[in-house]
Homo-oligomer: A and B are copies of this chain.
Amino acid sequence: MKTLIIVAHPNLDESRTQQFLQAASIDSNVQWHALDNRPLNVAGEQRLLRQADRIIFQFPLYWYSAPASLKNWEDTVLTRAFAYPADGGALIGKQLGLVISLGQPAAHYAAGAPEQFSLSQLTVPYQALAQRLQMTLLPSFIVDQFGYQSETQKMQLLVDYQRYLTQPSLGHFDGEVDWIVTKLAAINAHQNGPEQQRLALIIDQIKQNDATLEGLQDTLTMLKEGED
């Protein structure tokens, strides 16, 4: 699975959030693509989109939407001939995710809270875009108040963000376990001696727990069927 991250931020070099996310995005199947002030090469942008399975719009929320550079990219790159399902339909079946960074707590975006509107309400234009282009919309990935996060929170953010970029089936527990096992196995390939053995044991234990859980779920399903 190939992931393309389209990053819209007017001062990328000064954003600690984006610097952190860029470092966390390094993966052979992930492409970091930051928009800048240069004129867009439409054919080049469209080629990148065709190659991707998961397309991420990543931006800080400015006035309840993405910065102008992303809108300019949409207006320029997503031509009718390329994107409309009745015409090119180049994005049909691809995934669309939003990575939104907030200067305020995420809890401020709710009815009755200071911002009054939820992020699900504010991102309706992107929901409409995905619907029109027959893309599958992913739940948004929210990074709020990065500067106030503890080191532990940042480590969790790093793992969650990597999962958001690379885990094939997001939002499913099975997918999560598979993803963790694959990642740990990849790390272990670079270890040796006792470290390697210890990590191998951990991986086995995770797999065993997962198998046990599956067995329990099967039993539960049988019991439920017996009740009907």
A binding-site residues for B, Cβ under 8 Å: 10, 62-69, 71-72, 74-75, 78, 115-117, 121-122, 124-129, 131-132
CA A67 to CA B121, docked complex, whole Å: 20
Rounded to whole Å, the gap between the CB of A225 and the closest CB of chain B is 36
Cβ–Cβ < 8 Å partners of A64 in chain B: 124-126, 128-129
Q: Give 26 A-B contacts (CB < 8 Å), ordered by A residue.
A: A62-B71, A62-B74, A62-B75, A63-B71, A63-B75, A63-B78, A64-B124, A64-B125, A64-B126, A64-B128, A64-B129, A65-B71, A66-B71, A67-B75, A68-B69, A68-B71, A68-B75, A71-B71, A72-B72, A116-B128, A116-B131, A117-B127, A117-B128, A117-B131, A121-B121, A122-B128
Chain B residues, CB < 8 A from A66: 71
The CA of A127 and the CA of B78, in the complex, are separated in Å by: 26
